[in-house]
Amino acid sequence: MPTQDLNDQPIRVLYNGPVLSIDGVGYCHHVNGGGLVAETAYVEDSVWVGPQAMVMGNAVVKGECNINQSAIVKDSAHLRGAVLVSNRAVVEGHAQLSGKVQVLNDRRIGGDEVYTAETCTTI
């Protein structure tokens, strides 16, 4: 997994209210990583949302997922397990990812795609 802090310094979120609004939806900094999470999305505290990443819409992210490096999870996407979304990748639509799936390098996953992996698998 990529490093979970910026320049080897822990990221601390000091304010947990909305910090901005996009199309009428409030966004808060996630407690684990400081990335932006829409008030309409559900992201567990155990998930890493890096400082340049976003979770939008009605997305659900659970477990030990890692969303970082300008990645976006949006719409009604569901991620659980140890999914990694990184390097400007986008997971959208009704996509469902679980296990040790990696979505990297500008890759776009959407529609009704379903990916599950017990071992580390890059798609």
What domains, with CATH codes, occur in the chain? 20-122 (2.160.10)
pLDDT tens-place string over residues 35-68 = 999 999 999 999 999 999 999 999 999 999 999 9
CA distance 23 to 18: 13
Which tokens go with 93? 């639509």
**Residue 13 pLDDT > 90, yes or no?**
no
Work out the average pLDDT over 60-80. 97
Q: What percent of the chain has pLDDT over 90?
A: 72
Sign of CA dihedral 33, 7, 72, 57: positive
pLDDT band at 12 (very low <50, low <70, confident <90, very high): low
